[in-house]
Amino acid sequence: MSFHTTRRNFLGAVGAAGAAALAPPSASAAIEPSPWGIKLGLATYTFRSFDRAKTIEFIKEVKTPWVSIKAGVPGKAAPSAMHLPLDGTAEELKAIRKEWDAAGLTITSSGNVDMTKANTPEAMKKIFEWAKNFGLPMMVCAPTHENMPLVESMVKEYNIRIAIHNHGPEDKNFPTPESVLDVVRKLDKRCGLCMDVGHSERTGIDVVKTIADASDRLFDMHVKDLTDFTSRDSQVDVGDGKIPFPAIFKQLHKMGYQGCVNLEYEINDKNPMPGVQRSFSYMRGVLAALAAA
C-alpha cells in the first residue's frame, strides 16, 4: 500500500478504515497509547497559555500517557512555567511530581532546558540537582559546544540522560540533527538527540534518512507539520502539511525506536485542543493503517 502525507490524500489511500481511524476519539474511547509500537506523546509547550491543572486536564482528554514537560521560571514566562518551575525547592518539585503521577501521566522528559549560561560546574550542577529532585529520567536541552564537557560529566554523575534539541537555521549551536550527532557520538551513551522534525525540515535535510542515521542516539522527538519548508510560520495541524509522517513512522518502527514522538503544537495557543485532537487523530490513523497493511 502506498501512503501519502496529507490528510486528504491519506484518506483517499486508506479508504473507510482510515477515515474511521482519523475520527476524533469519543470521551469513553480506550486509545492504545503505543499504536504500532510508537509512543505518541505531548510536549506541554503546546499548552503554554495554561497552568498545570488545565494542562493535565487537556492531556487526559487526548488520551496519551506520555508527557515531555515544559520547564520555566514563574513570573518570567507564560503560565507554562508552572508546569515545572525551574526555581522550585526539592519539596515543591516532589509535590508537583505527585500531581502529574496522580493523573496517570508518565513524564518522559523535560524541555527545553536552557544550559547556554551554565558555564561552571556549580551552575551545571544546579540544573542536574533540579532534575534529580523532580525525578526526571531525561532533559531535552540546549547546551553549547563549549560546555558539553560539563554536561557529560553531570550525566555520568547523576545518571540522567540528555537529548540536545536542534532548533533550525536560527540556532547558532545546534541547528541540525547532524550537528547534534557529531557531538554526542563522541560522548557517553546517555547523551543523545531530540529531533524536531519541523526545524529539521527547514534546514533542507532528508528527515527520514537522518532518523535512520541517528540510530540509538535518537532519544526523543518533537513533531509538527509545515506547508512551506522555508518558513517556520507555516505550521498547520499534523496531516495538513508536507512533512512525510507515514515514512517517518515506518522508519521509526523499522529501527525499533523506544523514545516518544511528542506533538509540539506551536499555533493557536489560546485554543489548541481542536488542532491537537486533529493532529493526534491523523497520526493514530496513519499508524493504524500501517499496522494493518
The rounded distance, in Å, linking the Cα atoms of 200 and 161 is 22
Closest residue by Cα to residue 160 from 126, 189, 182, 128: 128
| pLDDT at position 14 | 56
Residue 181 predicted with pLDDT over 90: yes
Each residue's pLDDT tens digit, 6-35: 765 665 555 555 555 555 444 434 566 789
Each residue's pLDDT tens digit, 57-114: 999 999 999 999 998 877 666 676 789 999 999 999 999 999 999 999 999 999 799 9
Q: What class does CATH assign to 41-292?
A: alpha beta
Q: Is the peptide bond before 112 cis (omega within 30 degrees of 0)?
A: yes
The full length of the chain comes to: 293
| pLDDT at position 174 | 98
| pTM, to two decimals | 0.91
Grid cell in block for residue 124:
551545571
| pLDDT at position 22 | 56
The rounded distance, in Å, linking the Cα atoms of 127 and 248 is 33
Domain boundaries, the chain: 41-292
Average pLDDT, the chain: 91
The conformation of residue 103, written as its DSSP 8-state character, comes to T
Contact 264, 45 (CB under 8 A): yes
pLDDT band at 281 (very low <50, low <70, confident <90, very high): very high
